[in-house]
Every structure is written in structure tokens, then in C-alpha cells.
Amino acid sequence: MSSALHSITFDCTDAYGLARFWSRVTGWPLGEDDVPGDPEAAVIPPAHVGGPRLLFITVPEPKAVKNRVHLDLQPDDRTRDEEVRRLLDLGATLVQDERRPDGTGWAVLADPEGNELCVERSAAERAATA
């Protein structure tokens, strides 16, 4: 017996706002009935991508400590550094820069509510240095 992974859930202070940020990050649509002020909002992966949805639930308390789980992102159609710049423009903040002069490494960012995420090199960048 097993269980299917249905959702990766984020507690947050603004479910719709944080879902909009992650929708822009992933390019996945918001749930069709999600509107500003909703206590829950979802980002739904397209059928060709599959996998769990990202679910955002409004809670009264703010984030207090470092996440024990985070998402690692690998850009499809741009470099790691271009993706870091794009996410910063969307409202993320740089937490820790682990990028190395030889092009390896990653960047740790935080979404607008402080949830950590990492941006790794694209597959093309990895192949170029293999």
C-alpha cells in the first residue's frame, strides 16, 4: 500500500497573494475559483507536468523559524543567474549566495512570506560543465 502526494502545503498570512507569486514562479495557473481574500488558494500543475499542487492556507501566526523543507528550482529555459534575477523581480529576496566562480553552486532565496527556496543550475548549464 502507498499514498499519492496530492499537495505541498504552505501556511501563510495571504494565501491568494503567495499563490500568485508561486504561479508566476512556476508558470502554473491558480485554481479556477481562487480570488483575493480567499483563505485557501492553489497552484495547479498542468497535466503534462503532473505532480502535486501547491496549496496555500491562511493562518493567523507569521512564519517564525527556518523551514525544515524547501523547494529546489531548476530553470528550463534560462540560466540559474537569470532565474535568480527574475525571482528577485517577482518579490523574492536573496538569503544566501552559494554560487561559485566556476559556475557551480546555487542561490538560496525566500518567497514574499519568508519560505526558503533554492535555485540550481539549469540542465544545460550542468551539461556544459560535465
Is the pLDDT confidence value at 130 over 80?
no
Residue intervals of the chain classified under CATH 3.30.720 are 1-60
The CATH homologous superfamily for domain 69-130 is 2,3-Dihydroxybiphenyl 1,2-Dioxygenase, domain 1 (3.10.180.10)
Residue intervals of the chain classified under CATH 3.10.180.10 are 69-130
Q: How many residues does the chain have?
A: 130
Q: Rounded CA gap, 69 and 67, in Å? A: 5
pLDDT at 43: 98
3-class SS of residue 25: helix
* DSSP label at residue 52: P
In this structure, which topology does domain 1-60 adopt according to CATH?
3.30.720
Q: What is the pLDDT of residues 42-97, one digit of tens each?
A: 999 999 999 999 999 999 988 888 888 999 999 999 999 999 999 999 999 999 99
pLDDT at 9: 96
Residues in Cβ contact with 98 at an 8 Å cutoff, skipping those fewer than 6 apart = 105, 106, 107, 108
